[in-house]
Amino acid sequence: MPYETPFTLTSTKTIGAATFADCGENKSDLKLFRVNAGVPLREAVEHAAHVLGLAQMLSLEAAMDPRAERFAFAAHYLCEMGKAILDDLLLAVEPGKPAAQ
């Protein structure tokens, strides 16, 4: 029996619930950005893959070259963006479940 999923690649879209970029006095009470609602699953996953691939490249460069430490925060922010995209998609396909931390 083939594996069946409760969603399809063509109908599932981001819901705009995931946020990223902590700011404010407590660094958790305000979020600067939010994933936009309505992006098709396939396009959102492709974008997350690109963002996370760049983060991987930058973090490796930062780890291997002591002069490249400036790449560490760029990689951190790209990881945060990619994770927010994937968290939002998980909320779309599994409504009611808490977002991953």
Q: Lowest-pLDDT range, 6-15, 37-46, 74-83?
A: 6-15
Give tens-digit pLDDT for 57-68: 999 999 999 888
Q: Is residue 50 part of a domain?
A: yes
Residues 19, 101: Cα–Cα separation, whole Å: 12
- Beta-carbon contacts of 17 under 8 Å, excluding residues fewer than 6 positions away, are 34, 35, 88, 91, 99
Counting the structural domains of the chain, the total is 1
Query: How does residue 5 score in pLDDT terms, banded at 50, 70 and 90?
Result: low
Give residue 31's domain range.
19-89
Q: Is residue 1 part of a domain?
A: no
Q: Is residue 66 part of a domain?
A: yes
